[in-house]
């Protein structure tokens, strides 16, 4: 699957997370930037809906930055 960081940033914006997106880079650890568990749930649900994938809990824990999300989706 061909996914870009820009697409993931659009998902972060549409998920309505409580963190200023402008302060997040591709490498930023989302939880350290203030993304809480509810925000992560919204992000994961948005990813699953947009890319028609099911993200197992064991993999969801590894998706901690924009880069890790991109890499995971590219392997799908």
Which pLDDT does position 2 carry in this prediction? Answer: 93
Report residue 34 as tokens.
């203030």
Radius of gyration of the chain (CA): 11
Locate tokens 């890790």: which residue? 68
Q: How many CB atoms lie within 10 A of CB 65?
A: 21
Which domains can be identified in the chain, with CATH numbers? 5-74 (1.10.1200.10)
Q: What is the pLDDT of residues 47-66, one digit of tens each?
A: 999 999 999 999 999 999 99
Which pLDDT does position 22 carry in this prediction? Answer: 93
pTM of the model: 0.93
């Amino acid at each position: 699957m061909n996914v870009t960081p820009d697409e993931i940033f659009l998902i972060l914006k549409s998920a309505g997370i409580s963190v200023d997106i402008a302060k997040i880079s591709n490498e930023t650890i989302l939880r350290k930037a203030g993304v809480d568990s509810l925000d992560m749930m919204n992000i994961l649900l948005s990813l699953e809906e947009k890319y028609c994938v099911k993200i197992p809990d064991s993999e969801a824990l590894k998706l901690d930055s924009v880069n890790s999300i991109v890499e995971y989706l590219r392997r799908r």
